[in-house]
Structure 1
Amino acid sequence: MKLKLILLTLFFCSISLAQTTIKGSVADNTNQPIPGANIKIVGEDIGTTTDFDGNFTLTTQKKPPFTIEISSIGFATKREEIKSNNQKISAVLAEEETRLDEIVVSASRAPERVRESPVTIERMSVRDIKKSASVTFYDGLENLKEVHMNTSSMSFKSINTRGFATVANTRFMQLVDGMDNSSPLLNFVLGNLIGVSEIDVASVELLPGASSALYGANAFNGILFMTSKSPFTHQGISAYAKVGQTSQEAAGNNLYYDYGVRAAKAFTPHFAAKANFTFMSGTDWFATDYRDKDLVNKIGADRTDPNYNGINVYGDVVSTNIRSVASGLLNAGAITPAQFTVFNAVLPNVNVSRTGYNEVDITDNKVRNAKIDFSLHFKPWATGSTEWAKEIEFIWQSKFGFGNTVYQGANRYYLNGFEMQQHKIEVIGKNFFARGYVTSEDGGNSYDMEFTAVNVNRRWKPDSTWFGQYAGAYVQSTLAGATPAQAHASARNVADTGRFLPGTPEFINAFNQVIADPDVLTGSKLVDNSKIYHADANYNFRDLLKFAEIQIGGSYRIYDLNSFGRIYTDTPEFGPIDYEEYGVYTQVQKKFLKDKFKFTGSVRYDKSQNFDGNFSPRVSLVFSPDERKNHNFRASFQTGFRNPTTQDQYIGFNVGNAVLIGSAPDNLDRYRETLPVTTAEGQFFAGGNSVVLTGQNAYYNSYTATSVQAFAALAGSDPVAASALLRRTNVDLVKPETVKAFELGYRGQFENFSYDINGYYNIYNDFIGNLNVVAPLYGIAQDSPNPAAGPTDLGFQTLHAIQTGNIRAYQLYTNTDIEIKSLGFGLGLSTKIYKDFEIGANYNYAEFSFDQALDPSFEAGFNTPKHRVKGSLSNDKLFKNFGFNVSARWNSEYLWQSTFVDGIIEEATVIDAQINYAIPKLKTIVKVGATNLGGQEYIQVLGAGAIGQQFFVGLTINQ
């Protein structure tokens, strides 16, 4: 692929055609050059941009006379008549506040002014990217109003708008040039892994909130649009390079670098092409939170607990009731009946976990990301006589993303050599588009950190041997007069004798074998070759129907899941998993009362193969009372819906302490597992030494985990009262969730100030979430089983199973019957305070309500601070060729809930800054920056590494 890029670049640079040439310069009314101004031939897509000295050269096959249009954000647009070849232009643009006049497309699927958007919209322009103090433009999105980031890894940041998001944000959609960036296997966006290079970004638009009426099922809580530059209008070779250092207390100081190149050429008015390559490498934030998961909100890391289960410690999830070990030793003939009596009397009725490995010991903590993309653009009728035909463009685009990063779900996963690619064919015109694309991925050498540690331990010593040695050593120490704490410490030392230590040849050999083995019983490799096939189209009737602007469109998608039985239930026994979904929509827009009112109404119907169809309507009204439309009020109501993801439906994933079971009706029988029964009495109840459990047991013969925990806390002192606390699981299979979204907003300008105010209120029904349950290996689960009923009672047998550890924990996917509500508001403002000094600030408030007492086992996972404040101060013209930007953000503390761990994330204040220097003659800008200047490390995802500081020097060359 690198060879192809080099050949394309050489090819672009070697072709020269006879063309009309216009040269010129663009400056403001103080005679300062305007870099990055757009110069475009009116009626054509051919154009260029000014360099850092405000100069430009435009070449075209079009013969004079014709007109060019010169524009730049913050300045009034100007047109110049071209009457001859080699004509020189000196354009002066008048400065004006144009934030309300910026053009956006995403809110209505048609170009419109920001001020006329029917819903809240945030935008990042090329100018914003250039002045950002963040290391990458994607990181800079965190400074937008409404955005809260969930950082799992330095190279994997997940955008959260309006709450209810973990790292796996399945309620948020990201489109790059119209293609959904979601992983086919995981159903959520992997940050900018296969996104767009910052030197190829044309615009970034963000719609927080529901957008299902136009964009379908996954546009539930927000959608991000990233559009790349066209090779017809942005030609030449551009490149950037950044080098710097990351600094973290746990990881120390480490080198970081990032570089990229873009080559684009319009060979003729009919054909253009471009190619991009970027590469980033660094050391990830070390994850070193060693608090016990059960004590996460308490001070200190309690490694003295015999059943310690550290947040960033893996392998300690293997746990058993130490008293039950005596039965296993007796059955195996390792102890005599007399010894069994002693063991049973001495061993405590507590769980003990195996000694685990720290995360830093089972990953190299390196992050890398390479992105390659190229596209071919063909306009067959660009020089034709028909206006509509001139704008028809055919595009072939291919995108490849490769990398290493850490993803956090129910466990922590090292995506090592992960690959994702997209290939698109598209035709676009003035009023329509139609595209089809395929997204595929390969898990590479990715692995599950939990099972890596579990199976490295097992390659050294089987669980039964380790727990047997622990039990024997505990009994000996106790009989010798040791206290329980001393006996536990002595028992662990004995059982751990000879353990593979990180860095030793024995550990490295076992580690390499485990991560190459996809069998969950012996290995940890994640296998994935899943695909998505997608097509969508849209037509706007605005040139045919004059009374209103009417659009129609639709989409069709096929999921092709292929994890070889490692993550989903697509085992050889049951075969692959394929299913489809489709949607159709229409929208009507109408302006009336001298364009003071703008009405937008839309509705979409979506149907997934496994669920009933769903209608999503949206209505909105924009009112602009003044003639210049400097004050704009908006109100909207819309519904959104989200189909259960492929994970919600078809996962069958053993994560060690539990099995994740999707609830598609056919999935319950697709998952099956053989489990050992550990006690003699239990084997009598089960009718053998082992039992086979399926998803049917998880959903229909289990107890809620919260009731089992309550039972365990009381069982030793009052068995009758404890049994009365047990509750049989009673859930429905997962179905789509819906939201009703109400929003009011105002966007306006008063003197030099621009304002954007919005408030929203959401009502969620059938909210999809997880439920943790415990299934006994024998007996029949029932509410409040009677402990005095006797061994023949099936409810009594479940009590025995729970007390002896003969259970299997599951995580189910279901909906809560309880209505969830959320509300919030945001305020953003910007202005120039003195000469070219600009300030911007925004504030967001967000909260939700959910009656936990009505559904105590359900976790909503809002994961959003109640208060967020952001601000910036910048000046692009501090003095000649110098500019700077300082940005700051603060958030209050908030509750983090996930399948990995729950706890409180503390408040954080982060300050980033950069200063830049332009070298016009070299068409180059140098940027020196630093993030988190205060140095106070902070986290955004409980279980991920604390975020430290980054220092960088960047060089960007634009041709």
Structure 2
Amino acid sequence: MSKIFTRLAVMIVLLMPAAAVFAQNTPITGTVTDKSTNEALAGVTITIKGKSGGTSTNENGRFTLNTNEKLPFTLVVSYIGYKPYEQEVTSASALMISLEAGTVLGQEVVVAASRTPERILESPVSIERMGAIAVRESAAPSFYDALPNMKGVESSVQSLTFRSINTRGFNANGNTRFNQFVDGMDNQAPGLNFSVGNIVGISDLDVENAELLPGAASALYGAGGTNGTLIMNSKNPFNYQGLSLTYKAGVNHVNDDQADRSEYRDFSMRYAKAWNNKFAFKANLSYMTANDWAASDYSNFDRYTGAAKTGDRNSDPTYDGVNVYGDEPNAAFPTLQAVATAVQTQTRAGILAATGNTVDIVAQLNASLPANATPAQIAGFIGALPAALRPNVQNMIPFYFGLRNNAIPAVAPTRTGYEEKYLVDYDTKSIKTSGALHYKVTSNTEAIFQANWGTGTSVYTGSDRYSLRNFNIGQYKLELKGKDFFLRGYTTQERSGQAYNATLLGTYINQNSVPATTWFPEYTGAFAQAKMAGATDAQAHVSARQFADRNRPLPGSAQFESYKADIVRKTIGPAGGAKFNDKSNLYHYEGMYNFDNALNGAFELQVGASHRTYQLRSDGTIFDDLNQELTIKEYGAFAQAGKKMFADKFKLTGAVRYDKNENFEGRFTPRISGVYTVAPNNNLRVSYQTGYRNPTTQNQYIDLLVGGSSGVRLIGGLGSMIDKYQLNANKGYTLASVNKFKTTGNAADLQFYTFGDFKPESVQSYEIGYKGLMKEKLLVDAYYYYNSYKDFLSTLILLQPAGGTPAGLATASTYSTVVNNPDEVSSQGAALGLDYLAGGGYNITGNISYNELNDNNSSLNSEFNTPKYRFNLGLGNRTLTKNLGFNVAYRWQDEYRWSSTFAAGQVDAFGTVDAQVSYKIPFYKAVMKLGGSNILNKYYRTSYGNPSVGAVYYLSFTFDQFMR
């Protein structure tokens, strides 16, 4: 960490102007009022156009801005809920500025689309934006929860505090195709390669805006983000000063059959202060606690075919519940028939050895007793044997007669697992702290030191369900930025805390109570006994399970809690624990320069470069790093040029980026776009973009046993990992071919898999769109896109047979790895968004999106995981009366199939309503808000195997020193 910041500090010193001596400051003073009421407005942001930093008005609406800029210049005056205003300053005389309340559509300035400021109407690619007003007026518990109200945005909810955002298909739990940045810092966890929701993000009080780019953005932002990029910006303490507090109290789990009604509490605080427009700081703290949503799908699931099946624990001996852990099947598990044969064979061999090969007990039983021997006949036979042999023969009798009468089936029962609610920590919480120091080196250059740290308890769905208990991430940044450049370096420090694998926990509780080497013979023997007594197969299975589970600890018992505490304390590996020990880090530095001013408007030009290092540190609990240190280095550079032509009606922009990861060949990602103004405030856009993503750190180096008793080992796709498990020398059969073989019995159906080169995934994206403002009342945004993926990264499951023959499948090792799909994968979609100012302060919004995976004949699962249709509707008015406002949002999405390495199945269509009513109390500088998400309390799931989400009802109180 010290090395990267040393390098950065040296570059900052070199970039600082040689003459950092300030000219004599000119104080600009003034007062800002409401145009209609003449009331003073506190907290209004005042900046000099084109310059960094600024100031804000005090409680009396007055401001003082010290600057060394030469007159004349233009002030930009902005305030939440008011139309933006610009004032030319020609002298140091006091200014009187009046702002008009209202909303202006389509005039927001965005940066993310081109990495340079531009009106959202003129963006060359699709972009969605959530500003400070939208954050404040949202009915969702947090602004991050409200992101799915944006056009084309979907999410996967794995926990109350863990939501994965996505656009344009291929959604996932922990989405590695979607990038997320906070104040320029990549927000991913280095050991996971995806953002853990908003655990270490921005609190609602500190959000200035969030800009979302659907689709590929690699040409400007580097690897990843093939499906989207979210850029969140916090408030600058120069522009947003004062104290803000929010306390939110509520309830969830209303009418929930999985949990009692529970309290929901959320507290946030922000304070910022600036001195002489020279130095400023801010500090944030937020704390949220609640009872998490429960994953409670106990339906039967076949992990080998990826399909639901009939039956439950009482009716299906091979039952594997979706959210039940410790009951997973294993290809190497013995069938009842195999267990009985093994017991008989071992007993027979032991007696032969003990009697000098004179007593073949199986042969004597065959000769002496009929297949339907009575208990008296059996007792007489055993009584005639030497006393030393009787116990072993007595034990073997049920197995012997079960085999002789073909009463023992070739069925491999699963163990009795535990429901998730008994294994996962549902006491969810989120603690976020952040602080920043800002110093103006010159009037145009600002130095920033920023620290963000967050911890929480949540649940993540990967190949298993993981309880992220006290998981924490810290991000620390040093940045120098000016009007035309920035230079930043930051590090992300991930610590897994007491996170553990819930599936392994369930497996090891079973194993610690009764080892599998005991449980399976006991189950088989009890089954055979029941059959001898005349029971049906179903009755015999119930009897056998009751007997084998007689020492199984029940949830909540002292023995259960003792086993649980011990297992989650031990790390994954030989110790037999379920805990992760991840301390992975990321180090990144980058710079960019904008030559627009230097070129005097001849054309636009931006260049930039970056370098990144991943340090993977899991002590063998995630990665193949038990006996080695793993690091991955990446670097890249980009250039972008743009030019307006044809009387400024058409703007053409082109960009190209080169990136190199030390494990893969370097690659170029070009982008070209055009925007044509067909009429004032009406623009057509067309773009061709490319994107790519390197295989994640886990795609490369993971080495983790998951699935509990199912014994599936996740391994990275690099050649070194494939060779470690000899999958080139002793190839594995594909799961699809094994399933076919089980059906047909034809060994010719089995297919070995031969590995090829392991490459990054790339996408080519074509888009045409329109954004226009009609009569300053209606904003229309529409687009169509087509994406074509090459070398699509897909999951592959292989069964490596012992001896390399079909007979070896009985004891096969199962591996899950990542390979490149040899077939083209393509998708397409479209969206339409409407925003209408209806008069009287009413704002009506609506959007609809369509996404579809094109015909896919690939043998590998692409995991599109996206509804074909979804739409949002909104109605709001923040000035229903002088102090009263409201907002209502309705969201609906179509049914669709969800597929992942954890589970696969149908996700039902659902609709949900969020709503809030707010009331301002000017005397106390406060706002009361009564609201809720999913207020109709219709429980829904966004993805298969994840929890059902109900309502959150809350009452919040917000204090803002300047009533913004």
Same fold (TM over 0.5): yes
Cα separation, partners in 2 of 1:519 and 1:156, compared to 1, 3 Å = closer
Aligned mates of 1:31, 1:292 — CA distance in 2: 67
Q: Aligned letter for 1:106?
A: A
Counterpart contact for 1:242–1:952, Cα < 8 Å = yes
Aligned pair 1:550/2:605, yes or no?
A: yes
Give deviations 1:482-501, integer Å, cap 9, x for gaps: 11101111000000002111
Aligned mates of 1:464, 1:25 — CA distance in 2: 80
Report the equivalent of 1:761.
786
Aligned mates of 1:846, 1:32 — CA distance in 2: 49
Report the equivalent of 1:630.
681
Q: Aligned letter for 1:610?
A: N
Counterpart contact for 2:85–2:99, Cα < 8 Å = no
Counterpart contact for 1:746–1:756, Cα < 8 Å = yes
Aligned mates of 2:739, 2:45 — CA distance in 1: 64
Q: Aligned letter for 2:597?
A: D
Following superposition, the deviation at residue 77 of structure 1 comes to 1.1
Report the equivalent of 2:652.
599
**Aligned Cα RMSD in Å?**
2.4
Cα separation, partners in 2 of 1:952 and 1:342, compared to 1, 3 Å = same
Counterpart contact for 1:48–1:56, Cα < 8 Å = no
Aligned pair 1:293/2:301, yes or no?
A: yes
Counterpart contact for 1:284–1:367, Cα < 8 Å = yes
Report the equivalent of 1:690.
none
Cα separation, partners in 2 of 1:847 and 1:55, compared to 1, 3 Å = farther
Aligned pair 1:460/2:548, yes or no?
A: no
Aligned pair 1:559/2:614, yes or no?
A: yes
Following superposition, the deviation at residue 735 of structure 1 comes to 1.1
Partner SS, residue 653 of structure 1: strand
Cα separation, partners in 2 of 1:50 and 1:122, compared to 1, 3 Å = farther
Partner SS, residue 598 of structure 2: coil
Aligned residue among 29, 35, 45 for 1:38: 45
Report the equivalent of 2:876.
874
Aligned mates of 2:38, 2:447 — CA distance in 1: 41
Aligned residue among 835, 853, 856 for 1:830: 835
Q: Aligned letter for 1:571?
A: L
Aligned mates of 1:92, 1:377 — CA distance in 2: 28
Aligned pair 1:171/2:185, yes or no?
A: no
TM-score (norm 1): 0.87
Aligned mates of 1:926, 1:198 — CA distance in 2: 15
Following superposition, the deviation at residue 31 of structure 1 comes to 6.7
Aligned pairs for 1:576-615 within 5 A: 576-615=629-668
Report the equivalent of 1:367.
428
Following superposition, the deviation at residue 155 of structure 1 comes to 0.1
Q: Aligned letter for 1:620?
A: S
Counterpart contact for 2:149–2:891, Cα < 8 Å = yes
Cα separation, partners in 2 of 1:49 and 1:827, compared to 1, 3 Å = farther
Aligned mates of 1:828, 1:60 — CA distance in 2: 40
Report the equivalent of 2:940.
938
Aligned pairs for 1:89-488 within 5 A: 89=96, 91-93=98-100, 95=102, 98-247=104-253, 248-294=256-302, 297=308, 301=312, 303-319=314-330, 320=333, 321-330=335-344, 333=347, 338=362, 339=396, 341-344=400-403, 345-381=406-442, 390-488=443-541
Report the equivalent of 1:11.
none
Percent of residue pairs identical: 39
Following superposition, the deviation at residue 934 of structure 1 comes to 1.9
Q: Aligned letter for 2:794?
A: G
Aligned mates of 1:88, 1:920 — CA distance in 2: 25
Aligned residue among 796, 799, 808 for 2:813: 808
Report the equivalent of 1:680.
none
Cα separation, partners in 2 of 1:431 and 1:133, compared to 1, 3 Å = same
Following superposition, the deviation at residue 712 of structure 1 comes to 1.5
Counterpart contact for 1:580–1:608, Cα < 8 Å = yes
Max radius of gyration: which structure? 2
Cα separation, partners in 2 of 1:165 and 1:488, compared to 1, 3 Å = same
Cα separation, partners in 2 of 1:845 and 1:301, compared to 1, 3 Å = farther
Counterpart contact for 2:772–2:779, Cα < 8 Å = yes
Counterpart contact for 1:202–1:229, Cα < 8 Å = yes
State the aligned residue count.
Answer: 873
Aligned mates of 1:885, 1:515 — CA distance in 2: 44
Counterpart contact for 2:40–2:61, Cα < 8 Å = no
Aligned mates of 2:729, 2:686 — CA distance in 1: 43
Following superposition, the deviation at residue 698 of structure 1 comes to 7.5
Aligned pair 1:950/2:957, yes or no?
A: no
Aligned pair 1:571/2:614, yes or no?
A: no
Counterpart contact for 2:917–2:931, Cα < 8 Å = yes
Q: Which structure 2 residue ranges, 5 or more long, are not aligned?
A: 1-24, 352-360, 363-395
Aligned pair 1:650/2:658, yes or no?
A: no
Aligned pair 1:821/2:826, yes or no?
A: yes
Report the equivalent of 1:661.
715
Q: Aligned letter for 1:310?
A: G
Greater Cα offset, 99-108 or 473-482: 99-108
Report the equivalent of 2:366.
none
Counterpart contact for 1:882–1:915, Cα < 8 Å = yes
Give deviations 1:181-202, integer Å, cap 9, x for gaps: 1110011111101111111111
Counterpart contact for 1:292–1:310, Cα < 8 Å = yes
Give deviations 1:619-653, integer Å, cap 9, x for gaps: 00000032xx3110000001111111111111111
Q: Aligned letter for 1:138?
A: Y
Give deviations 1:67-122, integer Å, cap 9, x for gaps: 7542346624142769779x684614275x63322111011111111111110000
Structure with more relative contact order (C-alpha pairs < 8 Å, separation 6 or more): 2
Give deviations 1:732-785, integer Å, cap 9, x for gaps: 24311111100000000112211001110011111001011111122x2xxxxx
Aligned pairs for 1:485-884 within 5 A: 485-521=538-574, 522-546=576-600, 547-572=602-627, 575-626=628-679, 629-656=680-707, 657=710, 658-670=712-724, 694=725, 696-697=726-727, 701-715=731-745, 722-751=746-775, 752-778=777-803, 780=804, 798-802=805-809, 805-852=810-857, 855-856=858-859, 858-884=860-886
Report the equivalent of 2:61.
56
Partner SS, residue 353 of structure 1: coil
Cα separation, partners in 2 of 1:49 and 1:130, compared to 1, 3 Å = farther
Give deviations 1:424-467, integer Å, cap 9, x for gaps: 11110111111111111111111000000111111111011011
Give deviations 1:515-574, integer Å, cap 9, x for gaps: 0111345110111010111111111111222321111111111111011111111112xx
Give deviations 1:772-802, integer Å, cap 9, x for gaps: 1111122x2xxxxxxxxxxxxxxxxx22222
